Structure 1
Amino acid sequence: MSIEVRVPTLGESVTEATVATWFKKPGDTVAVDEMLCELETDKVTVEVPSPAAGTLGEIVAAEGDTVGVDALLATIAEGAGADTAKPAATDSAEAAPAAAAGGKSVDVMVPTLGESVTEATVSTWFKSVGDTVAQDEMLCELETDKVSVEVPAPAAGTLTEIVAPEGTTVDATAKLAVLSTGDGAAAAAPAAPAAAPAPATSGKDVENAPSANKMMAEAGLSADQVQGSGRDGRVMKEDVQKALAAGATAAAAPAPAAAPRAPVPADDAAREERVKMTKLRQTIAKRLKDSQNTAAMLTTYNEVDMTETMALRKEYKDLFEKKHGVRLGFMSFFTKACCHALKEVPEVNAEIDGTDIVYKNFVHMGIAAGTPQGLVVPVIRDADQMSFAEIEKAIAEKGKRARDGKLSMAEMQGGTFTISNGGVYGSLMSSPILNPPQSGILGMHKIQDRPMVINGEIKIRPMMYLALSYDHRIVDGKGAVTFLVRVKEALEDPRRLLMDL
């Protein structure tokens, strides 16, 4: 039987790619998910895995050919190389298919991870080999650099093989496990060991992307000066671009710390606990450091008297909740105030792209939310067009999805400005860090009664410190101060929001 190898989905707005490298030639035996070739688009490099075990037949698209999405790349004669494709099978492992002779095997594959997410790490298996599972029952959980993804059982049956154990890094088309369904499912051998992942190939034995080799040669970089992000450490085009942007010396430095860890006394070492950073935490660390290294970040401060906003909220919160089915919080007031201020100071809502400034004539508001896994920033799109009730509903829904780890990558992309509320944790004042490529972030803080001079008299007022961190490359001090003053004015007299003042 002949299996077709076609161009995979290349990503949003990408319609064609160039065949860069074939790793196999006609007649070669290939295993399931073994890399066949590499495609290059104007944005990313895409690896094409084998959809089945067998022998590579005809190569339809040769190196250098331009192909569209779903175009035919090659054919595979299925089964011809199946026996050699899986040499690690043992007697006990072979018992599982035999026991399940009355049923059929169903592969458990990596689900869709989202745009631009190419790999994930298997964090937890909820089931063991031999366990009976129901359809849609959770089998395992994957971690990407953005979100956690649960993998449900595609059918009812018995888990007969775990192909990717906990800690394994898998690509977006990899097989995770095998289920046995039908009459023989219950008799599947529980003693079948989990398949060990193939040992990672040394980076020295991996062929880098042709475009990466060309770019390194032109820039005078050696492969050991670039950290590869492709399969088995393969250096991709974007890796070289990052190395050039950061400088060859920085790219060659060990990660994540510049200096080696100091020796720890044996008594202290015995009481330490070493835990590997999650993909999400690694991404948070990288993005925050990139933000410091890239932007000329400054912070300006002001304070706001929350008396009028608190009074308005108190007066209408019960009626608001009764009509709209959602509580009236402070975040909708701050979101509205920021949207109004951004219209007057548009550079705070802009971003730098090379030597251009991109002004956004819309507000996609990022609302920072703390979760057990780390800080995430879901985006409320077109917040400037939304009512108080629509903003509150969106914040409540995004917050719940963030805490449950259900946010998709698309829900955290495209923000133009961010609000971070450290006040919920008791913060009195802090300097928020920019969320690249945005040029501004507002920090909210704890509301605290303080003595204030009002018309020559000392009065107790609920005060909040505000902080605006901004990219000084495109936002001048005057613009930053003006923005914060406009937010202050709107909150101290919330009727201005209704009058669009």
Structure 2
Amino acid sequence: MADVTMPQLGETVTEGTITQWFKNVGDAVAMDEILFEVSTDKVDSEVPSPVAGVVTEILAAEGDVVEVGQVLCRVGDADAAPAAVPEAAPAPEPVPVPEPEAAPSPEPAPAPAATPEPEPAPAPDPVDAPTPATTDGLILSPVVRRLIADNGLDAGQITGTGLGGRITRNDVEQVIQARAAGSTPEPAAPAPAAPTAPAAATTAAPAPVAEAPRPAVGARDQVVPLNNIRKRTA
């Protein structure tokens, strides 16, 4: 018989909460088949059976908070019967006591009609614990299967990090986050600014100053010296 305990799921994890049982007492279980799912403040994980056999005892219910190392169920051989609940010892039969003779009493008044007792409500039919779904040979819990179906993922493309390489909820959420990050378009690079043409320097050169024409001395002109009369007249 093998004891299945609460596993150590992290260095700082000391306890966890049982969220779901996949097996009941008396159910057959194969080696590495999922027994229950446990949730901690760090990660959710599915715990498989270490051996093949029959579940003989379940020591914690769904919703219970259990410590690391605590025995949660026991798995025995396939021919082992589940632990029987001890029957209560039968109560001793009462010894009849002779009744004393009573004096005759007056006739009692008629008793009111007895109210019929209500019939007890029928007990609800037991609900079988869900078994993990399989996809292409992969064993998936209902939580993981629902995440894969809701997000349109392919279970065969997801790498499992759980016990025995099983796909956990954390594995599916990482794939969803990676796909969302890859679909965001990158911002377009800004167009380069057109170069500004430098202003052409237009400095007008000063116009040349034309020289006044000088009277030319012809070859036929004759210079006559002034005499005294012409000097006085002039």
TM-score of Structure 1 vs Structure 2, range by shorter chain: 0.3 to 0.5
Instruction: Specify which structure has the bigger relative contact order, considering alpha-carbon pairs within 8 angstroms and separated by 6 or more residues.
Output: 2
**Which one has a bigger Cα radius of gyration?**
2
TM-score, with structure 1 as normaliser: 0.22
Structure having the higher strand fraction is: 1
Structure having the higher helix fraction is: 1
TM-score, with structure 2 as normaliser: 0.43
